Structure formats: structure tokens, C-alpha cells
């Protein structure tokens, strides 16, 4: 009898740890000038926390690293005012169509939403963030080269002046790291 109770306790503990790890994970959000594809240069928000609006004026938005319990959204109308496109994990989402003013991600699991005191808390951004990096993504299948920087606006202006053929080397010289691409991208 004691062994059964111990096994049940361990199972509950493992589930609690797994749930907390999944709910604390971070997602990458990237913006692109191109309104028809998630490729080229732009701002990035590596490891952005949930319910944080990534304020940016872009043509397309890429949201990666969503788990099966997470939803990514793209907005128009200033910051994260009006949600116009959304997609659930586990996939990489590329929202196209232009005039996006922000993006964010939220926990979408019904169980977690029911545990919240206000069941609409997961639907709203709790804060806003400025870009904390820039990226160059030649093609979504090959991945992105990302540099974290406190002065993303200046670095993006400098990056845009570099010829596409030299952007990867330029970013590497500024401490860039590579995020693997995906052949499993949902374009909306």
C-alpha cells in the first residue's frame, strides 16, 4: 500500500514539474518588412515571455517554439490592439499580409485557463516590449542569424545598409547566433 502511495505522489510531482516547465517556456517572435514571406531582415524578440506585446510595425510576423498548449497572435491597430491572426503550437507560424503592429503568445490550455482567477487573463497582454535584437533570415527553412542588442533600431539600420550576400558574415562579426530553420512552417 505504501509503495502505491509513493508512486502516486511521484507521478503527481513529475506532472507538476512538467506543467511548470512548459508554462514558463519562452517563444521567439520576429518581424519582417516583407509582407508576403517571413524572410529578410528585421527586429527580433528572442525568448519573449508570454502575454508581452512585441510592438513593431512590420509586413509579416514569425512566431516559433510554441508548445502544444500555446497560441501565437499577430495584431493590427497599434501595438497589440486588435488580434487578426492566430495559430496554436507546436509549429512555426508565419503571418503575412502586412500592416502588423505587434505580436504576442499566450497559454492556450483549457486547464491552465480554468486555474486562473480571471479566465480572460490569458487573452490580454500584461506589458509591452521594444525589440531587443535584430535578425537576418535568408529563408525560413535555413533559419535565422540573431544578435541581441539594447539598441535594435540602430543595429537594424546598419544591417539594412549591408548587401544581402554579406549579412550573415556581418552579423557573425557582431556576435550573432544561429536558430535552426524549419520545413514545418504554417503560412497564414
Q: List the end-to-end C-alpha distance of the chain, in Å, as a whole number.
A: 54
All three cell numbers of 53: 506585446
**C-alpha distance from residue 109 to each of 62, 88, 89, 91 (Å):** 21, 10, 11, 16
User: Dihedrals φ, ψ of 105, to 5°?
Assistant: -135, 155
**What integer pLDDT is reported at residue 110 of this predicted model?**
63
User: Dihedrals φ, ψ of 34, to 5°?
Assistant: -65, 125
Average pLDDT, the chain: 84
**What integer pLDDT is reported at residue 186 of this predicted model?**
86
User: Dihedrals φ, ψ of 88, to 5°?
Assistant: -100, 150
Cβ–Cβ under 8 Å, residues 110 and 71? no
Cβ–Cβ under 8 Å, residues 22 and 69? yes
Three-class secondary structure of residue 184 per DSSP: coil
For residue range 105-117, list pLDDT tens digits in order.
998 776 555 555 4
For the whole model, what pTM was predicted? 0.80
Strand 52-58 and strand 127-129: the pairing is: parallel
Amino acid at each position: 500500500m505504501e509503495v502505491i502511495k509513493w508512486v502516486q505522489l511521484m507521478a503527481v510531482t513529475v506532472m507538476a514539474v512538467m506543467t511548470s516547465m512548459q508554462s514558463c517556456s519562452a517563444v521567439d517572435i520576429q518581424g519582417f518588412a516583407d509582407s508576403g514571406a517571413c524572410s529578410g531582415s528585421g527586429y527580433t524578440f528572442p525568448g519573449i515571455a508570454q502575454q508581452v506585446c512585441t510592438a513593431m510595425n512590420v509586413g509579416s510576423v514569425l512566431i516559433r517554439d510554441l508548445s502544444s498548449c500555446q497560441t501565437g497572435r499577430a495584431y493590427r491597430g497599434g501595438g497589440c490592439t486588435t488580434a487578426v491572426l492566430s495559430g496554436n503550437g507546436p509549429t512555426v507560424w508565419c503571418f503575412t499580409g502586412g500592416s502588423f503592429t505587434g505580436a504576442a503568445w499566450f497559454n492556450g490550455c483549457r486547464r491552465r485557463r480554468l486555474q486562473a482567477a480571471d479566465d480572460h487573463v490569458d487573452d490580454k497582454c500584461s506589458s509591452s516590449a521594444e525589440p531587443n535584437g535584430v535578425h537576418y533570415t535568408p529563408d525560413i527553412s535555413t533559419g535565422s542569424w540573431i544578435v541581441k542588442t539594447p539598441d535594435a533600431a540602430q543595429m537594424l539600420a546598419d544591417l539594412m545598409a549591408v548587401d544581402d550576400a554579406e549579412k550573415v558574415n556581418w552579423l557573425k562579426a557582431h556576435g550573432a547566433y544561429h536558430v535552426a530553420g524549419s520545413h514545418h512552417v504554417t503560412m497564414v
